[in-house]
A and B are shown apart, each in its own frame.
Chain A
Amino acid sequence: MLAVGVLLMAANTIANVVGRFAFGESLFFAEELNRLLIILITFAGISYAARQGRHIRMSAIYDTLPPRPRKALMIVISIVTALLMFALCYYAVGYIETQASRGRVLPALSIPVWITLVWAPVGFFMTGAQYALTAVKNIVEKDIYLSTNVLEGYDDDEMEV
């Protein structure tokens, strides 16, 4: 989904240029489509990033703690983050309901605005679930986990994702 979003965005933008030059016609929906894709990429991406333990954080103080309190802190961080993500999911659903009730429509694509937003609550929920699972994993297992499938410590293979 994530990769497809990025590829579509590139294709859509190029198509607009080609359209303008080859056919003298711009694609009026290009900007709206990109807007829709950027929402998809962002919200599909945050849960993927959560699973990979790639969300940006400042770990300087955290890193200096001994293992036990560090593990406890990681559990607290995961639980609080999960709860906030679920809360945002809830409010995002509310926001979409409000949008749907007003019936706003994208001028060029003429699809309802609320449809473009559905990735937001999904992304918040999936991200919250990832952090909740991280908390569980840290409680159950002996090691400290940054995310459900990443152990603590930055890897050296830094150019790979």
Chain B
Amino acid sequence: ADTWRYAFEEALEEVQGKYAQKFKEEIEANSDHEIQLFPFGTLGESVDTMEQAQAGILQFVDQSPGFTGALIPEAQVFFVPYLLPQDNESLFKFFRDSKAIHELFPPLYAEQGLELLSMFPEGEVCMTTQEPVHSPEDLNEVKFRVMTNPLLVESYKAFGATPTPLPWGEVYGAMQTGIIQGQENPRFFLESTKMYEVTDVITCIGHNNFTTAVMANKDFYDGLGEEDQQLIQNAADAAFEYILDYQVALGDESFEKIKEAKPEIEINILSEEERKPFMATSASVEEAFIGMTGDKGAEILAQMKADLEAASK
């Protein structure tokens, strides 16, 4: 019996934490191995745990592919807007069947010493702002906090906002005092980080679904017997199926909680028609992505689009 360590980027009761708990439950129910869970911050930031997984100190690690850009530039494709299905049924199909995820990405992760076990959606990314947003014009002059990632910056420039970098720890305060007027995050995160307390409007434009990758250290994984490898794959699959429905329910529940805590909040799910001008901006972001990643990136982008099409049928 071995003890395996698994670090993720969120708290125990958030989406990654729930996935990890399910994964742990499956492994421990079907073997005599034990899994120790390390939620966000307990072993450092996301970059730190990623390196620790590469060094073999951690057996399993979660990292949103968007954050993996410094290591695997192609993974930033998940920051290109409107590449993922906007309805749940197609979204699940996409994540189950995507060729990009299941065939093109694993070798890229393997080059970094990582076995890609799974990618799963964590929930639709929505904006919170002080004023209602129905079109890109409404984002004019809005200082919008984004992570320091060139593609996110490009996206929000294209949406018409003024992208403003700010460390996450300062966002709540900066929103309260008015240094910035907007930020984006997955639905459940808007609730758990209390962003609604310091903003008045939530707007969902369907541009992205926050995605996470689950990885194992490759040397560790390759050194396991077939039985243990199967055990891990089964646990990852079970946790994946569990999390698909869970994250949808959690997203809805989060919005209910927000409405309860702040009845005057305005939640706008933009219509197909209203989304169009936002969707029209994605070409410039795609260009920037290909500029950063070259042919390999172009191949992945094309495959993602093909996968999107297949899932939407």
Contacts and interface: CB of A to CB of B under 8 A. Distances in A.
B176 interface: no
A102 interface: yes
B3 to A, nearest CB: 25
B132 interface: no
Contact of B153 (A28, A102, A105): A28
A25 B69 CA distance: 23
Interface string B114-153: 0000000000000000000000000001010000111001
A108 interface: yes
B70 A28 contact: no
A106 interface: yes
Given A28-B153, A30-B165, A104 B143 contact: no
A110 B141 CA distance: 27
A107 B150 contact: yes
Nearest to A108: B148
Interface string A70-108: 000000000000000000000000000010001111111
Interface residues of B, number: 18
Interface in B54-97: 54-55, 69-71
A113 B148 contact: no
A24 B143 CA distance: 9
A47 to B, nearest CB: 26
B313 to A, nearest CB: 36
Count chain A CB atoms within 10 A of each CB in B51, B54, B70 and give the residue with the most: B70
B223 interface: no
B112 interface: yes
A113 B71 CA distance: 11
Contacts of A106: 70
A33 B71 CA distance: 20
Interface residues of A, number: 17
Interface in B148-191: 148-150, 153, 162-165, 167
B203 to A, nearest CB: 22
A30 B170 CA distance: 15
B165 A26 contact: yes
A20 B148 contact: no
Given A102-B54, A102-B112, A107-B149, A31 B70 contact: no
Given A20-B143, A102-B54, A107 B162 contact: no
A103 to B, nearest CB: 8
Given A20-B164, A102-B112, A28 B148 contact: yes
Contacts of B55: 98
Nearest to A102: B71
Contacts of A20: 143, 164
The 10 closest A-B pairs by CB, nearest first: A104-B70, A26-B164, A108-B148, A107-B148, A28-B165, A105-B70, A26-B165, A107-B149, A24-B162, A104-B71
28 contacts: A20-B164, A24-B141, A25-B162, A26-B162, A26-B163, A26-B164, A26-B165, A28-B148, A28-B153, A30-B165, A31-B165, A31-B167, A32-B148, A102-B54, A102-B71, A102-B112, A103-B71, A104-B70, A104-B71, A105-B70, A106-B70, A107-B69, A107-B70, A107-B149, A108-B148, A108-B150, A108-B165, A113-B70
Given A28-B165, A108-B150, 13 more contacts: A20-B143, A25-B162, A26-B162, A26-B165, A28-B153, A30-B165, A31-B167, A98-B51, A107-B69, A107-B148, A107-B149, A107-B150, A108-B165
